[in-house]
Amino acid sequence: MSTHESAKVRKMRMPDLEQVLNIEREVFFSSWSRAFFQDEIDSVSSIQLVVEVHGDIAGYICAKIFSDEVHITNIAVVPGMRRQKLGSMLLSRCIDKGLELGAKWFILEVRESNTVAKEFYRRFGFRELGIRIGYYEDTGESAVLMAWGRTDECKSDRTIPVFEEPNTKDCS
Ligand SMILES: CC(C)(COP(=O)(O)OP(=O)(O)OC[C@H]1O[C@@H](n2cnc3c(N)ncnc32)[C@H](O)[C@@H]1OP(=O)(O)O)[C@@H](O)C(=O)NCCC(=O)NCCS
């Protein structure tokens, strides 16, 4: 069975935070704090999902809902498990959840230098809308603003399949 076949996407819970924070600190130069993740888990206007492989958390995604727009704020997969569609499972489920809640737009910022993430989002149908100059406070790097939507302004379609997880009941 492939990694993504044995993977399960579900809602993030407080007991997940230790593993989530370990990934966050390993992956990002400026990492989110425990308090930040806790607030997001508690918030009704957030989508917080993890992907679990054989009982261990292999990645997570965080997003904020603003009316008909979902802002994807964080996504990471552990370095040793990348390129096995776990990121795609997370993003796909997050989009499905947003659509269920009435969202029409999905937007995000990504560091200009993050070619892997930009390719990942492009592959998913996200398109580059513009640049936010000096967006990242830590390094002063600019952000590329990317969006995917179901409106006339952004007609792109999701270009890779939605993965069916064996157990989707945990994901609210
Ligand atoms: C971006 C990230 C979440 C992708 O997760 P992943 O599980 O490796 O991605 P997937 O396996 O679902 O990849 C889907 C597609 O994205 C593209 N992609 C992913 N990694 C890529 C890479 N290293 N180089 C080129 N394209 C890549 C490919 O098109 C891939 O499809 P393919 O494998 O069939 O060619 C992961 O690389 C990561 O955690 N990066 C560090 C954190 C980060 O930069 N987050 C984004 C902040 S905005």
d(CA 61, CA 11): 10
Residue 165 has pLDDT above 60, yes or no: no
Q: Kindly report the average pLDDT of the chain as a whole number.
A: 88
- The rounded Å distance from CA 2 to ligand 1 centre is 17
Strand ranges for 81-156 from DSSP E: 105-111, 127-132, 143-149
Q: Are 106 and 156 in contact (CB under 8 A)?
A: no
Closest residue by Cα to residue 48 from 74, 24, 27: 74
Q: Tell which one of 120, 123, 162 to mutate to probe ligand 1, the residue whose CB is within 8 A of the most ligand atoms.
A: 120
Query: Does the C-beta of 114 come closer than 6 Å to ligand 1?
Result: yes
3 pLDDT tier (thresholds 50, 70, 90): confident
* The pLDDT of residue 2: 81
| Number of neighbours of residue 120 by Cβ within 10 angstroms | 19
Whole-number pLDDT of residue 5:
82
Query: What domains, with CATH codes, occur in the chain?
Result: 3-103 (3.40.630.30), 108-156 (no CATH)
- 30 compared with 12, residue with greater pLDDT: 12
Give the predicted TM-score (pTM) of the model.
0.90
Phi and psi torsions of 161, nearest 5°: -65, 155
H helix and E strand count, the chain? 5, 7
61 CA from centroid of ligand 1 (Å) = 13
- pLDDT tens digits, one per residue of 60-110: 999 999 989 999 999 999 999 999 999 999 999 999 999 999 999 999 999
